[in-house]
Copies of this chain bind each other. A is one copy, B any other.
Amino acid sequence: MGSLHENNVSFSPSLLVGEFKPLDHEEFRRQAHQMVDFIADYYKNIENYPVLSQVEPGYLRNRLPDTAPYLPEPFENILRDVQEDIIPGMTHWLSPNFFAFFPATVSSAAFVGEMLCTCFNAVGFNWLASPAATELEMVVMDWLAQLLNLPKSFMFSGSGGGVIQGTTSESIICALIAARDRALESLGAGGISKLAVYCSDQTHSTYSKACKLAGIFPCNIRIIPTTADNNFALSPIVLRRVIEADVASGLVPLFLCATVGTTSTTAIDPVSQLAEVADRYKIWLHVDAAYGGSACICPEFRHYLDGVERVDSLSLSPHKWLLSYLDCCCLWVKQPNLLVKALNTNPEYLRNKRSELGSVVDYKDWQIGTGRRFKALRLWFVMRSYGVANLQSHIRSDVRMAKMFEGFVKSDPWFEIVVPRTFSLVCFRFNPYKDSDPTYIELLNKKLLDSVNSTGRLYMTHTVAGEVYMLRFAVGTTLTEDRHVYAAWKLIKESAEALLKRSYYIV
């Protein structure tokens, strides 16, 4: 922020006093310290808030003015409004009693890493615009690849490389565009009508969205059904049959997305066998290991990635299970040149000798947008602050707590496990009269879910797979301990009992 007279070479610092200085370092220090205490207290007291917000739609608009203020307001007033107006409308994702969706895990290390990323505000679109931002990202992507025991073909120290995206959606789009443009090079632009893509009915919904976004004809998106018998994994045999039919009808198989840990039930597609099929038809195989991939830093889970040496790309979101805060999705590719070919831009104003010599990585050519943050700091702080040992024990601890909950369910005659547990998600249902009407069981479970969530004491969600409605109990927010899992089970049991008592009179 400047000051002073126009078009005048002379300079008088005294006139600077009393100006608008939005980054005065002492004011910054004061406010940021105050915010640290606010946040530390929030974490300390987080269990006191209802996990699922209990507000009604429109609650906030009614509380806030219609326009921004003309004059500044004190920091303290804004903090007060955070407490009074914002917090009641939060669903507290970091509450230890949050068992919905998948937990979005965090840590002190990632928080301070994120502060530093914000601090620099470096826009690392190319190497020169921030060498450290690019190079640290290359280093941490290789580190994480090693933790996962990925082959060298995915590492910068080998022949591949990795990049931090925001979300799985972005990772899939980038891989898909690279595959698409490689195919269109020989087919011509009109060939897009012939490209067929594959997934299962358990693949994340963002995959079909990404395919449509990339111009794949909706009629050429094959969503292959799975079954409970197969634990909702994509069958290589069925896949092959579908591909063969497509080839026979003149389509060109382009892309397959396999999942290690689906969002609904953590189903695991057999990567190795799918890679065989993909190989045969020259299909780009992407593995979405957004959630399940993190577990593979433990040797006992690594086998779920077996066959990864034969796939083309892999994505994993440390913001889910590696304590990293949002948003952080790691994408590794075997052939970075294909990404760059599809996604590069070369405006004059970004040209520089380093890029032209081809001696550096310019990450703008590995992603959708141009601008990008220095997110690698977060992963660097996490890996260094905790070490591989603690990260492994963190995964194991969550799985152990999920097993504990699974044990509660199994040992209770009123409840049942619906899909075998693999990682830290338990899919179960309340089924007190084993042979009753499926519609009635569904209704009962919906009522149970509503009743539990409306207490504010925990938050769970549901899913449907193989036409069965089930409850999802996803263990593992950073603050969750055994006592929270135990208390959750107790609440679920009590609510089920109350429901049953009432339903004697209702049904």
Residues 1-56 of A at the B interface (beta carbon under 8 Å) = 1-9, 11, 13, 16, 19-20, 22-29, 31-44, 52-53, 55
Contact status of A213 and B177, CB under 8 A, knowing A115-B32, A369-B206: yes
Complex Cα–Cα for A442 and B263 (A): 56
Give 4 new A-B contacts, CB below 8 A, not counting A7-B404, A93-B122, A327-B373.
A31-B108, A38-B116, A69-B388, A121-B325
Q: Is A401 an interface residue (CB 8 A)?
A: yes
Of A252-260, A303-311, A480-488, the segment with at least 4 beta carbons within 8 Å of chain B is A480-488
A-B contact pairs, 21 of them (CB 8 A): A2-B401, A16-B481, A20-B386, A20-B394, A25-B40, A27-B108, A31-B109, A39-B115, A64-B139, A68-B387, A70-B388, A72-B387, A75-B385, A91-B122, A94-B120, A106-B121, A206-B345, A208-B345, A213-B213, A263-B347, A349-B463
Q: Is A390 an interface residue (CB 8 A)?
A: yes
Q: Is A501 an interface residue (CB 8 A)?
A: no
Complex Cα–Cα for A68 and B381 (A): 10
Q: Is A143 an interface residue (CB 8 A)?
A: yes
Q: Is A89 an interface residue (CB 8 A)?
A: yes
- Residue in B40, B181, B343, B480 whose beta carbon sits within 8 Å of that of A1 in the complex: B480
A493 to chain B, nearest CB (A): 10
Is the beta-carbon distance between B69 and A383 smaller than 8 angstroms? yes
Give every chain B residue within 8 A of A319 (Cβ-Cβ): 371
Q: Interface of chain A, helix or strand or loop or mixed? A: helix
Contact status of A53 and B130, CB under 8 A, knowing A43-B28, A86-B136: yes
Is the beta-carbon distance between A122 and B206 smaller than 8 angstroms? no
Give every chain B residue within 8 A of A354 (Cβ-Cβ): 57
Q: Is A223 an interface residue (CB 8 A)?
A: no
Give every chain B residue within 8 A of A485 (Cβ-Cβ): 2
Is the beta-carbon distance between B32 and A112 smaller than 8 angstroms? yes
Complex Cα–Cα for A347 and B205 (A): 6
Of A186-194, A228-236, A331-339, the segment with at least 4 beta carbons within 8 Å of chain B is A186-194
Assembly stoichiometry (copies): 2
Is the beta-carbon distance between B398 and A2 smaller than 8 angstroms? yes
Q: Is A264 an interface residue (CB 8 A)?
A: yes
- Residue in B66, B68, B348 whose beta carbon sits within 8 Å of that of A264 in the complex: B348
Most buried by B among A38, A118, A390: A118
Contact status of A131 and B57, CB under 8 A, knowing A114-B118, A139-B64, A167-B369: yes
Is the beta-carbon distance between A167 and B371 smaller than 8 angstroms? yes
Is the beta-carbon distance between B44 and A37 smaller than 8 angstroms? no
Nearest B residue to A320 via CB reads B371
Contact status of A130 and B93, CB under 8 A, knowing A39-B115, A394-B22: yes
Give every chain B residue within 8 A of A135 (Cβ-Cβ): 58-61, 89
Q: Is A274 an interface residue (CB 8 A)?
A: no
Is the beta-carbon distance between B90 and A370 smaller than 8 angstroms? no
Is the beta-carbon distance between B7 and A106 smaller than 8 angstroms? no
